[in-house]
Chain A
């Protein structure tokens, strides 16, 4: 395989799995900026070790393993960003991501439906999503911004995620029918 073919092959694998890698890292690293740093490190490590990858195995599982290793390494090196989960818990979570790998591809296909569902949300709900996911505000900050309470914002976000999940399922089922 030439170097350029190797590049293309790696990119094809990486682009297909990058969202899933982001989800794994995101479940363990809550700070978005630290997460983006780690994702960049993961991408480089995957490329550096691509020769070691056995194509008979799952790229996703291989990449997720390296991503979790990078998370652990990163926290050992940069103690200023706290890691909420213990290493044994991270192992259990990694195993769960491996066991539900099929869900990732399904979600990728549903992203367009999700965006349509977000567009249909009332203004207040879209504003809440923007504050949380776009501006990356803490719940405290959102509560202050909206003159609400932390508990109310927590519940509202949870309900919003659930409502979006149901909306996507509904649209998906309708499209299938």
Chain B
């Protein structure tokens, strides 16, 4: 093995590629690169080689995962290399074993705050059982009797919504990255909505090509689960399950399918999407509670962007108006005069989606800003913990509420403020694990909100979070490839939630790059990003 004599420029380039170059060295390297094309070529060549080695190492590793038995890149870490030395490592492993036996293999039933025994997995998109009366909604109607209908005999059978009119287009042709033209009374769309562009087959293929083994496994699992979900739809287009509001559950299932790239006209579940849209747009009664209303708003906004159907747009506008009228005086949403961070997050998320999908109600901007102000006031900037405004005390609340508050701030464009960053730091101690019976993990709703926060944050935190999240979610599938509720029964709600979690990288871009359809000219208190649109809401350039 021969080694070339050291050259000062090579030394600088190598140190740069090793991230070991100090400020002075970087200044020298930059001066060389700008002054000499030959130096720049050597730099490009070294960077290319570095990238090729990284790719080869990572691909070798992936193949070892797929084909165990081949020679590993690096052997098992020797005991002597453990940071505290072998003795401490042995004690730590023994303690871990005892912990696993005591708390995981033979767990005792967890206690609820009210002293009762909890029985099962907490995947709650309804009001969680442990929430106090403070957060309950006075005068809430009892849930209607559940009618579970048999799934349709064939997915190809005629479904409600087959007659949805795809002719008209509501979005301005000038809208960013989207143009539409009429041909023979139909609308030919020549580009996806910026909100849904990550779901296209091409974008997904590019993501999977770069995303590695975990991305591909997550995608395959979500595709299989979506097929199961589609088969559970009732004949009227809704999904029903004991304990769930049909509008909320249908919204959740529809979101999962839309997130996979299905629309009313394309994808393997187009007929199922049409059925769900027909149910939601044809249902005139309001959902049973605020959380269900927020989910419906979320689904209508997403479907508006994905389908551009006038009927869906009208339903979205209606749910937007209802959401705005439900906002309470302190700026959030919730029972009585208190803002519930979780419901506020769902509502703000839905409103921001509606804004991106084309809603032109000017009051949305102010509503989002007021919600963010309410959450801003309730986050302790020192710890990132949330103080419930009406509780009168300073008790830190649960993950779902911290995640809800952070997500609300992100939706308002305040993702880099002290409070949002502290909130994210507080979430660092939350584990991205699928809810486990008797475990200390967060509930499903907290997981979804925190995952959205982490995704919007991006960078290393997101990559680390998603890797652990996907591994945990995938490990909790049952033999049929779906997810179960606390009784161990395959559940539409749990499965839709799992699909949404696994598909997070492909559902929307980070909120900082969502477009808006209408930009108020003056006095806009909301700090929003307008990537692709200029200050007048027109495409840049």
Among A23, A89, A139, point to the contact of B48 (Cβ < 8 A).
A23
Q: A-facing mask of B188-207, CB < 8 A → 1, else 0? A: 00010000011011110111
With A22-B55, A89-B30, A162-B3 already in contact, the answer to whether A115 and B202 are too (CB < 8 A) is no
B67-75, B223-231, B434-442: which lies at the interface? B67-75
Interface residues of B in 1-38 (CB under 8 A from A): 1-4, 10-11, 14-21, 26, 30, 33-34, 37
- The chain A residue sitting closest to B71, CB to CB, is A119
With A47-B202, A139-B18, A163-B3 already in contact, the answer to whether A129 and B30 are too (CB < 8 A) is no
CA distance A163 to B2 in the complex (A): 7
CA distance A110 to B49 in the complex (A): 11
- The chain B residue sitting closest to A111, CB to CB, is B56
Among A22, A44, A100, A119, point to the contact of B41 (Cβ < 8 A).
A100
Question: Is B51's CB under 8 angstroms from A19's CB?
Answer: yes
With A43-B210, A107-B52, A157-B18 already in contact, the answer to whether A133 and B34 are too (CB < 8 A) is no
Determine whether A77 belongs to the interface, using a CB cutoff of 8 Å to chain B: yes
Determine whether A58 belongs to the interface, using a CB cutoff of 8 Å to chain B: no
Among B19, B48, B81, B509, point to the contact of A107 (Cβ < 8 A).
B48
Determine whether A145 belongs to the interface, using a CB cutoff of 8 Å to chain B: yes
Chain B residues near A103: list those with CB within 8 A.
44-45, 48
Question: Is A40's CB under 8 angstroms from B15's CB?
Answer: no
Interface residues of B in 412-432 (CB under 8 A from A): 416
Among B1, B33, B59, B197, point to the contact of A48 (Cβ < 8 A).
B197
Q: What's the least CB distance linking B483 to chain A, in Å?
A: 27
- The chain B residue sitting closest to A167, CB to CB, is B1
Q: What's the least CB distance linking A117 to chain B, in Å?
A: 9
Chain B residues near A20: list those with CB within 8 A.
48
CA distance A27 to B42 in the complex (A): 12
Chain B residues near A85: list those with CB within 8 A.
30, 33
Question: Is A31's CB under 8 angstroms from B459's CB?
Answer: yes
Q: What's the least CB distance linking A4 to chain B, in Å?
A: 9
Determine whether B53 belongs to the interface, using a CB cutoff of 8 Å to chain A: yes
- The chain B residue sitting closest to A48, CB to CB, is B177
Q: What's the least CB distance linking A72 to chain B, in Å?
A: 14
Chain A residues near B459: list those with CB within 8 A.
31, 33-34, 37, 78, 80-81
CA distance A157 to B57 in the complex (A): 14
Chain B residues near A97: list those with CB within 8 A.
44, 48
Chain B residues near A158: list those with CB within 8 A.
10-11, 14, 18
Q: What's the least CB distance linking A23 to chain B, in Å?
A: 4
Chain B residues near A118: list those with CB within 8 A.
53, 56-57, 60, 73
Chain A residues near B26: list those with CB within 8 A.
84
With A18-B209, A134-B61, A161-B53 already in contact, the answer to whether A127 and B33 are too (CB < 8 A) is no
Q: What's the least CB distance linking A1 to chain B, in Å?
A: 12
Determine whether A14 belongs to the interface, using a CB cutoff of 8 Å to chain B: yes
Chain B residues near A19: list those with CB within 8 A.
51-52, 55
Interface residues of A in 105-123 (CB under 8 A from B): 107, 110-111, 114-115, 118-119, 123
Chain B residues near A11: list those with CB within 8 A.
202, 205-206
Interface residues of B in 494-521 (CB under 8 A from A): 505, 509, 512
- The chain A residue sitting closest to B11, CB to CB, is A158
Determine whether B174 belongs to the interface, using a CB cutoff of 8 Å to chain A: no
With A7-B202, A163-B1 already in contact, the answer to whether A84 and B16 are too (CB < 8 A) is yes
Q: What's the least CB distance linking A151 to chain B, in Å?
A: 8
Q: B-facing mask of A111-155, CB < 8 A → 1, else 0? A: 100110011000100110111111000110000010000100110
**Which range holds the interface residue count of chain B?**
35 or more
With A114-B52, A129-B53, A154-B15 already in contact, the answer to whether A43 and B458 are too (CB < 8 A) is no
CA distance A126 to B50 in the complex (A): 15
Determine whether B58 belongs to the interface, using a CB cutoff of 8 Å to chain A: yes
With A48-B191, A93-B40, A133-B58 already in contact, the answer to whether A43 and B20 are too (CB < 8 A) is no
Determine whether A175 belongs to the interface, using a CB cutoff of 8 Å to chain B: no
Determine whether B335 belongs to the interface, using a CB cutoff of 8 Å to chain A: no
Tell me whether chain B's interface is mostly helix, strand or loop, or mixed.
Answer: helix
CA distance A92 to B197 in the complex (A): 32
CA distance A83 to B346 in the complex (A): 35
Chain B residues near A159: list those with CB within 8 A.
3
Chain A residues near B16: list those with CB within 8 A.
84
Question: Is A36's CB under 8 angstroms from B463's CB?
Answer: yes
Among A23, A95, A131, point to the contact of B40 (Cβ < 8 A).
A95
Among B43, B200, B509, B529, point to the contact of A96 (Cβ < 8 A).
B43
- The chain A residue sitting closest to B73, CB to CB, is A130
Question: Is B55's CB under 8 angstroms from A27's CB?
Answer: no
Question: Is B19's CB under 8 angstroms from A139's CB?
Answer: yes
Q: What's the least CB distance linking A173 to chain B, in Å?
A: 14
Determine whether A26 belongs to the interface, using a CB cutoff of 8 Å to chain B: yes
Determine whether B326 belongs to the interface, using a CB cutoff of 8 Å to chain A: no
Q: What's the least CB distance linking A112 to chain B, in Å?
A: 9
Determine whether B488 belongs to the interface, using a CB cutoff of 8 Å to chain A: no
Determine whether B116 belongs to the interface, using a CB cutoff of 8 Å to chain A: no
Question: Is A23's CB under 8 angstroms from B51's CB?
Answer: yes
Q: What's the least CB distance linking A138 to chain B, in Å?
A: 6
Question: Is A43's CB under 8 angstroms from B55's CB?
Answer: no
CA distance A172 to B4 in the complex (A): 19
Question: Is A93's CB under 8 angstroms from B74's CB?
Answer: no
Interface residues of B in 123-167 (CB under 8 A from A): none
Among B2, B11, B198, point to the contact of A166 (Cβ < 8 A).
B2
Determine whether A88 belongs to the interface, using a CB cutoff of 8 Å to chain B: yes
Determine whether B460 belongs to the interface, using a CB cutoff of 8 Å to chain A: yes
Among A40, A111, A127, point to the contact of B74 (Cβ < 8 A).
A127
CA distance A85 to B81 in the complex (A): 36
Among B3, B57, B203, point to the contact of A133 (Cβ < 8 A).
B57
Chain A residues near B512: list those with CB within 8 A.
77-78
With A33-B462, A111-B52, A139-B20 already in contact, the answer to whether A126 and B73 are too (CB < 8 A) is yes
Question: Is B47's CB under 8 angstroms from A26's CB?
Answer: yes
Q: What's the least CB distance linking B513 to chain A, in Å?
A: 8
Determine whether A177 belongs to the interface, using a CB cutoff of 8 Å to chain B: no
Q: What's the least CB distance linking A126 to chain B, in Å?
A: 5
Residue pairs across A and B with Cβ atoms less than 8 A apart, 5 shown, are: A44-B197, A80-B416, A133-B57, A157-B14, A159-B3
Give 4 nearest A-B pairs by CB, closest first. A27-B47, A96-B40, A130-B74, A23-B51
Given contacts A107-B52, A130-B61, A130-B74, 16 further A-B contacts (CB under 8 A): A20-B48, A27-B43, A36-B463, A43-B206, A44-B509, A80-B459, A86-B30, A93-B33, A93-B47, A96-B41, A103-B45, A118-B57, A129-B74, A134-B57, A162-B4, A163-B1
